[in-house]
Structure 1
Amino acid sequence: MKILIVNTFYYPNMQGGAEQSVKLLAENLVKRGHEVGIFCIDSKESKPSIEKYNGVKVFRHDSGNFNLYGFSYDKKGLSKAEKIKQKLICYYNKKTLKCFDELLDKFKPDVIHTNSTYGMSTLIWKTAHSKNIPVVHTIRDTAIISPFTYGHKENKAVVKMHRTYVKYTSQFVSGVTSPSNYTLSTSLINNNFRNAVVKKCIFNSVQIDNDRLSEIIEIKKQRNSDFFKFFFAGRLVEIKGIVHLIESFNQLDMDNTELHICGGGALLDYVKKESEKNSRIIVHGKLDNEQLGKVYDECDVAVVPSMWPEPFGRVVIEANMHALPVIVSDCGGMPEIISNTKAGTVYKNGSNSELAGVMKEYCNRDKIKLSFENIKNNIGIYSIERQIDSFEDVYQILINKVKKNEKV
């Protein structure tokens, strides 16, 4: 198959879990013998480029009149008029649509798989439909439901217009998937994706090294210390629950515990100040994968205290891959992961006392070790091989409809 994957950012411009998931998917589709191209708009140069990483051909463009980096990360210096203008470009990015249209004629994909379309306009779905190329869209955020960042004050009229727009453009999508049932069901409201012949939950995945996992488990089984290290990895922003986590950890008030925090973001200074007040809070900052892996291996229990409905919660299965049970809030798709792996605990979102209580329960070697066999037995649900099988099935269903001269 010839597959064109669409995502706002692509390697090496990695922003978060979505980019990790897209890269893993693209490279493993190549390993299966498929020809894979990437359409992304994260170039800081006006001239488009063609690059190749691990067999994946990347067609990298800029974002046209949309200020991708400025509008995404620093809106403080923008006037209200400029903010409105930038937001409107997200609904109709003329340059991006033209580049995408030209690439379809050049690359001639059998199927298109869209992910994050931030800044490029979901009218690309209509462009593909006009050429009778089937589109699979994977929902990786809450942008289908609202144009506002979660937790920010919403304008009801704007949300209504946004949902009308999404309802219109999503009719051109042939198949829709999401990494959790929660995200899929909430995104299908308002009759979105009404013409999709496939509507399916396909979990995000990890590259599982069973030998390495078994090795880590055996090492951690030998731990008998009554000193416990909790672990957090993610963006240091309000919606990721970092303030809530620190408050809960301070409430725990046990000298035989540490909280290791990995990541960067707007609240980094706050986190550093808290670590100065409490020496048991260890701030590692933003780490590369190798460094992050070492901290995972040193710790005992991961905590994902998100205050917003995570579409999936990739860090949960990444922690499991390092033999860590995971404490998660009851937001979004994360409880589904705990239900599948049986290697963690779900608590009520935002409750400091409940989180502190669950963390105290995990200051027990026997409880931690109970998770090891469950991780080993159940992590395969999230293998990349299983995910590729699922997407290949979806792609083939839609391609077969085209071959039968059925409009997709």
Structure 2
Amino acid sequence: MRIVFLSARYPPDVLGGGEISTRLIAEALAAAGNEVSVLCGGQEYHDDIFGGVRILRMRELLPWWSKPIREVRVSRAMAQVVTKALEHHALAPDILHAHEFRSALTLSLLAHPHRVVTIRDYAPICGTTNNMWWDGSSCDGCSWTNVLFRCHRVVEASIPRKPFRVAQYKGNLAFRTRAYARIPHHVYTSAHLQHRVENRLHPPETIRASVIANPVDPAWVATPPTPLPAGNILCAAGRLETTKGTDVLLHALESVRIALPDVHLHCLGGGEVPRYQGLAARLGIADAVTFHGPISSVAVRERMDRSVAVLSPHLWEEPFGRAALESGARGRALIASDLGGVRETTTADTAFLVPPKDVPALAAACVRLLQDRNLAHTVGQAARR
């Protein structure tokens, strides 16, 4: 079977778990005997084979339009680029598969009978894609009142930028609703995400929906976990931003340090690094946290191996939560917010789930695992199984 993936980015150009999942799925399908190609953005044109997958990188598909005023106009332009690329390279796919919402909007405008979209976030129902209000609570709909006074991206914007944010997040939702309704097969990464999206999107009955969890890189489970380190070391993998709970994380570290003065946290990911370096300094914990910035998947795995536990105190309803799979693959206990798709990939035996935004609960869970290595080992091994 010939399968063409549409993706704004593709490894090694990675923003987060979405690009990693796209690569793993593409390579698995290729290994199963399918002819798999990926159309994605790139600074220069490249036509390469990697992992059994043909990767076509084109400057025209770079995600330069991440926040356009009118998504329909840009999507039409991208659809023309994709159509020409399919014809020029004689790809003739049996299936066209979009792996993030920008590509999904483009896919909706293509005339192909077998189109599939993987829905990884709340883009079909939320202009900001994270379905969250400014105070960290979950959004219940993009009414004008909610967009103007509760949407966190609008609230945080400067006064001159607010009208543009409103146009971006409110004005494009009608097009997104129509676009997703045109794609006949939806794949969700969790049942939680499917429930949230379909309750507001109300897709046509003709749409086929499936739930397929994100994969974990086989390299993460190929080698046995390393022994727990002697030091009180924690790590958190993901972008540094409010929605990921980085503020809560650093405040919890301040409390943990009272009980365990030698505790050290490693933050693995890009985002608002200078802002959180400043917060750590103000809390007096600058020497207890290392900000690594964006690092490779291999480096993340190695850092997890040197940690006692992995933290994911997200504020938004994380649609899936890759940290649960990756920490379990390395035999490490997970401490995460009891919110979103992480509930589907963990149990009481494989993770500590704490209320979101609850600094004392997060700190207490960290102290408990750091002080009881037998418990940390037991939870980590249960997660790996």
TM-score, normalization by structure 2? 0.81
SS state of the match for residue 303, structure 1? strand
Q: Is the 8 A contact 2:193 2:341 kept in 1?
A: yes
Whether the aligned pair in 1 keeps the contact of 2:328 and 2:381 (CA below 8 Å) is no
Call closer, same or farther: CA 1:344–1:111 in 2, change over 3 Å.
same
Letter in 1 for 2:50: Y
How does 1:358-377 map onto structure 2 within 5 Å?
358-363=365-370, 364-377=372-385
Q: What displacement does 1:34 show?
A: 0.5
Cα distance change of structure 1 residues 331 and 268 upon mapping to structure 2, 3 Å threshold: farther
Q: How far has the Cα of 1:273 moved from its partner?
A: 6.2
SS at match of 1:108: coil
Equivalent of 1:102 in 61, 84, 92: 84
Match of 1:141 in 2: 121
CA distance in 2, matches of 1:142, 1:211: 30
Identity level (%): 21
Report matched runs for 1:302-341 at 5 Å.
Answer: 302-339=310-347
Displacement of 1:207 in angstroms is 2.9
Residues 296 and 166 (structure 1), Cα distance of their counterparts in 2 relative to 1, 3 Å cut: same
CA distance in 2, matches of 1:35, 1:332: 35
Structure 2 residue identity aligned to 1:108: A
Structure 1 residue runs of 5 or longer lacking an equivalent are 73-82, 378-408
8 Å CA contact 1:6–1:38 kept in 2: the answer is yes
- Alpha-carbon offset, residue 115 of structure 1: 1.2
Task: Tell me how far 1:192 sits from its aligned partner.
Answer: 4.4
- Corresponding residue for residue 389 of structure 1: none
1:268 to 264, 274, 279: 274
For 1:34 and 1:23, the matched residues in 2 are separated by 14
**1:97 partner letter:** A
- Cα 1:108–1:342 change in 2 (3 A) is farther
Q: Does 1:255 align with 2:235?
A: no
Provide Cα deviations, 1:331-354, integer angstroms capped at 9, x if missing partner: 321222223x84111111111122
Pick closer, same or farther for the CA change 1:162–1:299 going to 2, 3 Å: same
**SS at the partner of 1:260?**
strand
- Deviation readout 1:250-272 (Å, 9 max, x if unpaired): 02222242222222222335326
Number of aligned pairs? 348
Match of 2:359 in 1: 352
Higher alpha-carbon deviation: 312-321 or 147-156: 147-156
Report Cα offsets for 1:122-167 as digits up to 9, x if no partner: 152242xx342x1111111221111225432387887565343233
In structure 2, the residue matched to 1:381 is none
SS in 2 for 1:87: coil
Give distance in 1, aligned partners of 2:173 and 2:236.
Answer: 34
TM-superposed CA distance for 1:55, in Å, is 2.0
Structure 1 residue 171 displacement after superposition: 2.5
Amino acid at match of 1:125: S
Mapped partners of 1:190, 1:283: distance in 2? 38
For the residue of structure 1 that corresponds to 2:346, the secondary structure is helix
TM-score if structure 1 supplies the norm length?
0.77
Correspondence for 2:308: 300
RMSD: 2.8
Which stretches in structure 2 are left out of the alignment for 5+ residues? 131-151, 156-164
Which residue number in structure 2 is paired with residue 52 of structure 1? Answer: 49
Q: Any conservation in 2 of the 1:179–1:312 contact (CA below 8 Å)? A: yes
1:181 aligns with 2:185: no
- Higher RCO structure (Cα 8 Å, ≥6 apart): 1
Would you say 1:216 and 2:225 are equivalent positions?
Answer: yes
